[in-house]
A and B are shown apart, each in its own frame.
Chain A
Amino acid sequence: MDPTRYILKMENIVKEYSGNRVLKGVNLSVHPGEIHALMGENGAGKSTLMNILFGMPVIHGTGGFEGSIEVDGQKVTIDTPLKAMELGIGMVHQEFMLIPGFTVTENIKVGREISHPTLLSRLAGRSMELLDFDMMARDARKALKTIGLKVDENSLVKGMPVGYMQFIEIAREIDKTGIQLLVFDEPTAVLTESEAARLLDAMRTIASQGIAIIFITHRLDEVMEVADSMTILRDGEFVARKEIAGSSVVEIAELMIGRKVEKLVDDTLEDNRIIKEDDLAVRLRNFQVAMPGEAVKGVDLEIRKGEIFGIGGLAGQGKLGIPNGIMGLYPAEGEVQIFGETLNLKRLGEALNHRVAFVSEDRRGVGLLLEESIEQNIVFSAMQVNNKFLKKYGWFRLYDAKQAHDWSEEMVKRLDIRCTGIKQAAGRLSGGNQQKVCLARALTLGPDVLFVSEPTRGIDIGAKKLVLEYLVKLNREEGMTVIIVSSELVELRSISDRIAIISDGKLACILKPDDSDAEYGLAMSGAYKKKGGGEHA
């Protein structure tokens, strides 16, 4: 490794999406043969930075970016992915881009086939040349050997273990001639522990041949194990570039989370709640949910009556699976108790019947009937679950338009939903107002336990504050147990009494809002297990 030479140097990168600055002067520099970790929470700007590096259309279609990129000392403009490829920059994708019905060799060589001319090709051009399978197989074997995967290069990719597919992706990248820099986008997220260990070995092997690696990951322990240096981003800002040797896990974790001073909620409400440790609202035992991308793999959790309980963690770690599983939206297993009563998870609407309400993170997909009126959206669940807003005509129960109208008007006023009237279609509202409609529907159910999932995703700061303050008000004044699931730590820490961090589908630990940033960083990066992962608050 030559410390004076940089294979890649991105300086002062600034990127705006329609006035919203997502990258605010970020630097990234990598030496040849170095494994460089790129770290940051969701939304820190990692993907945008990589999109710039690869000249993705999403960047140039939205006004380009500011700043400079140097590859191997030469200033370059990368405006298409093809250009990035020519410069020897490759990427190993998180979702595998392999063709299942092709063999390993074909997958490795696809688009770069070796062929030799035939009589026909002399007449009809290169597309008529014959493939040289022997040569291709030789190349494939060589690439596979480099990364240490023992697999028959003539077997089909279909049906191979996930770990193998990841390796084949890597083999394809390093088979490209002149590859100088490889980006690994969360490569271990889908792998088992032993596969991940092998992958890290392979990364070392690749780096030792002089190819630089940018390693995007959330897992601090992996970074400590394999990386030489790292760049930390936070909210689109460049925080630090550090050498791994000489820094501690705690220090890095602290840098990742950072102390954010903004206070989201004015805490003016009196707190005369009495929360008892053994008076439980929700109790989970070995709770598992098969939610794609957010699988929960066995969580034990005890949520006390009357508290505001936060559930945090990075995207894809399973925190969203918990409320979705309890509400029966995805198949779940294990034991769920609400105020001591066990739910029958096989029965639809079981949680609703135990006075549990849910505001989904997927407003447009799950939360709303977009084409129906605000009124319909607000009263619908209560009508179905509690038989509210129905008037009896003999044996027939019909929609009680007046009652529904009055109630909706009141909710619109109470939550300050900005609309042209309660007959407006919910799909026409802004994100924040849609969220308030979802909240209104949940409250109409008159719940004792309220799950709110990503309540402030995609809504402006004013609405955010109102929503959070309203949740606090419900908790303080009506004694509602509120469970807030969010990717935004600031938000969790500003209103929760306790916060559970979910990592890899399991409970990492339960923290207090005023615990140190380092503790949060460690818990979220999956490094907590190493420290014993004890219960906290």
Chain B
Amino acid sequence: MRDNVKGVVRQVGLPRIIIGGFFLLLLFTASGFGMDLMQIVSDIIRRWGMYGVLALAMVPAVQCGIGLNFGISMGIVGGLLGGLIVIEWKIAEMPSLVAIHPLFAMWVAILIAIVIGVVLSTGIGWLYGLLLNRVKGSEMTVTTYVGFSIIAFMNIAWTVLPFKSGELIFPNAGEGLRNTISLASSYSGVMNNTFKFSIKLPFGAIEIPTGLLLFFFLMCLLVWLFMRSKTGAAMSAAGANPMFAQASGINVNRMRLIGTTLSTVIAAVGILVYAQGFGFMQLYNGPMMMGFTSVAAVLIGGASATRAKISHVLIGTFLYQGIMALGLPVINLFIPEGNLSEVMRLIISNGIIIYALAQTGGESRD
């Protein structure tokens, strides 16, 4: 019996059991206080899809051996640029596209934004990968600071980039891009609203953002397929045991480049998925901590600094976002004053990162 319990604990992982238990506890508390549980569940599902792709960016990074990629802001910046360009060109408002269907125009807009984001982040990711190949053994420290640095650099860039659209720049003949850019006229909620439906239950309704979830699952499927390709397998081997990979004739540095680039590209897509669900794009310091949120999510899901799977992304993002969505209203019940949700978020995400890093013990991979 005792061995059985131990076996289960080992299989599921202690952090997942604790977080899962905490999640259930919050759920009970919330229902006990008579909150609209169904609305909260809808919120969790929506957040799951919104943040999922960003967390997915961790998979190629961890598998190729650079560890947890705290620097996904590199890709996020690329994605944001794509999003900005699409608004500047007013693609979602092009009459010929709107004539077919307004939602269709929005889809064209976001897909073009994704394509631009992917192209830009491929270049950025490649350079980023070259850098990481020079700092083997301390990638995670480096990614953290590279992530911060690109944000600082873009803080300058956002003020001088030659965007003209009134929706983007500060109003009243101001210069530079706004802090928060509304997507209402471009692609706000395009994925969330596609095939959206509600499950009506006697005590409320759960909203299912079908388009968002489908897109999220499609991305997961693509990454999963890539991991099963020859290159994907080679990349995982290069990450797990560089000497082994080399003995099989694999160029380890090249695999790390591919993994880093892929991670950056997925992050670019991820931020656009996030932005359309949120309805706004946040520039400047907005994406600063996105890396930490994503890292914490996959870690809760059961990933480590050396191994991450799609299932870790799915489970982890759900649990992490579940606690975020539930935690705020529940905690506000107990301590009404002040904004505790941000404090909660910091405690949970940083706490889980510390736990996971302590578990892996920071051993060198070379």
The answer to whether A binds B is yes
Pairwise interchain contact B230-A329, C-beta atoms closer than 8 A:
no
- Please name all residues of chain B whose beta carbon is closer than 8 Å to the beta carbon of A369 when the two chains form the complex: 237, 240-241, 244
Pairwise interchain contact A383-B240, C-beta atoms closer than 8 A:
no
Pairwise interchain contact B249-A385, C-beta atoms closer than 8 A:
yes
Closest to A381 in B: B248
- Please name all residues of chain B whose beta carbon is closer than 8 Å to the beta carbon of A383 when the two chains form the complex: 230, 233
Q: What's the nearest-Cβ distance from chain B to residue A66, in Å?
A: 39
- Please name all residues of chain B whose beta carbon is closer than 8 Å to the beta carbon of A376 when the two chains form the complex: 233
Number of A-B residue pairs having CB atoms within 8 Å of each other in the complex: 69
- Tell which of A350, A365, A385 touches B248, judged by Cβ atoms closer than 8 Å: A385
- Tell which of B230, B237, B243, B248 touches A349, judged by Cβ atoms closer than 8 Å: B248
Q: What's the nearest-Cβ distance from chain A to residue B81, in Å?
A: 29
- Please name all residues of chain A whose beta carbon is closer than 8 Å to the beta carbon of B113 when the two chains form the complex: none
* Bound-complex Cα distance A383 to B249 (A): 11
Interface assignment of B228: CB less than 8 Å from any CB of chain A? yes
* Bound-complex Cα distance A399 to B243 (A): 22
**Number of A residues with CB within 8 Å of any CB on chain B:** 31
Pairwise interchain contact B233-A329, C-beta atoms closer than 8 A:
no
Q: What's the nearest-Cβ distance from chain B to residue A365, in Å?
A: 6
Interface assignment of A215: CB less than 8 Å from any CB of chain B? no
**Number of B residues with CB within 8 Å of any CB on chain A:** 18
Pairwise interchain contact B233-A328, C-beta atoms closer than 8 A:
no
Chain A residues within CB distance 8 Å of chain B: 327-329, 348-350, 352-353, 358, 360, 362, 365-372, 376, 380-381, 383-385, 387, 390, 396-399
Pairwise interchain contact B243-A366, C-beta atoms closer than 8 A:
yes
* Bound-complex Cα distance A329 to B244 (A): 9
Q: What's the nearest-Cβ distance from chain A to residue B292, in Å?
A: 26
- Please name all residues of chain B whose beta carbon is closer than 8 Å to the beta carbon of A371 when the two chains form the complex: 240, 307
Pairwise interchain contact B250-A367, C-beta atoms closer than 8 A:
no
Residues of chain B from 208 to 237 with CB closer than 8 A to chain A in the complex: 225, 228-230, 233-234, 237
Closest to B246 in A: A329
Q: List 18 A-B contacts (CB under 8 A).
A: A329-B247, A349-B248, A360-B247, A365-B241, A366-B243, A366-B247, A367-B244, A368-B244, A369-B244, A372-B240, A381-B249, A384-B234, A384-B249, A385-B249, A387-B230, A390-B230, A396-B229, A398-B229
Interface assignment of B285: CB less than 8 Å from any CB of chain A? no
Interface assignment of B185: CB less than 8 Å from any CB of chain A? no
Interface assignment of B251: CB less than 8 Å from any CB of chain A? yes
Extra pairs beyond A349-B248, A372-B240, A385-B248 (13, CB < 8 Å): A329-B243, A329-B247, A348-B250, A352-B249, A367-B244, A368-B244, A369-B237, A380-B237, A384-B230, A384-B233, A384-B234, A398-B229, A399-B230
Pairwise interchain contact A358-B247, C-beta atoms closer than 8 A:
yes
Q: What's the nearest-Cβ distance from chain A to residue B82, in Å?
A: 25
Chain B residues within CB distance 8 Å of chain A: 225, 228-230, 233-234, 237, 240-241, 243-244, 246-251, 307
| Of listed B244, B247, B249, B250, residue having the most chain A CB within 10 A | B247
- Please name all residues of chain A whose beta carbon is closer than 8 Å to the beta carbon of B249 when the two chains form the complex: 328, 348-350, 352-353, 381, 384-385
* Bound-complex Cα distance A131 to B230 (A): 65
* Bound-complex Cα distance A397 to B234 (A): 13
Pairwise interchain contact B229-A348, C-beta atoms closer than 8 A:
no
Pairwise interchain contact A399-B307, C-beta atoms closer than 8 A:
no
Pairwise interchain contact B225-A396, C-beta atoms closer than 8 A:
yes
Pairwise interchain contact B248-A352, C-beta atoms closer than 8 A:
yes
Q: What's the nearest-Cβ distance from chain B to residue A535, in Å?
A: 32
- Please name all residues of chain A whose beta carbon is closer than 8 Å to the beta carbon of B225 when the two chains form the complex: 396, 398
* Bound-complex Cα distance A362 to B242 (A): 13
Given A366-B244, A368-B244, A371-B240, verify A384-B250 contact (CB < 8 Å): yes
- Please name all residues of chain A whose beta carbon is closer than 8 Å to the beta carbon of B229 when the two chains form the complex: 396-399
* Bound-complex Cα distance A390 to B225 (A): 12
* Bound-complex Cα distance A352 to B243 (A): 15
* Bound-complex Cα distance A360 to B243 (A): 10
| Of listed B228, B230, B244, B307, residue having the most chain A CB within 10 A | B244
* Bound-complex Cα distance A385 to B247 (A): 11
Pairwise interchain contact A384-B228, C-beta atoms closer than 8 A:
no
- Please name all residues of chain A whose beta carbon is closer than 8 Å to the beta carbon of B237 when the two chains form the complex: 369, 380, 384
* Bound-complex Cα distance A289 to B61 (A): 33
- Please name all residues of chain B whose beta carbon is closer than 8 Å to the beta carbon of A380 when the two chains form the complex: 233, 237, 248
Pairwise interchain contact A327-B247, C-beta atoms closer than 8 A:
yes
Q: What's the nearest-Cβ distance from chain B to residue A190, in Å?
A: 25
* Bound-complex Cα distance A365 to B246 (A): 12
Pairwise interchain contact B240-A348, C-beta atoms closer than 8 A:
no
Pairwise interchain contact B251-A398, C-beta atoms closer than 8 A:
no
* Bound-complex Cα distance A348 to B234 (A): 14
* Bound-complex Cα distance A384 to B255 (A): 13
The 4 A-B residue pairs with the shortest CB-CB distance, nearest first, are: A349-B249, A399-B228, A381-B248, A366-B243
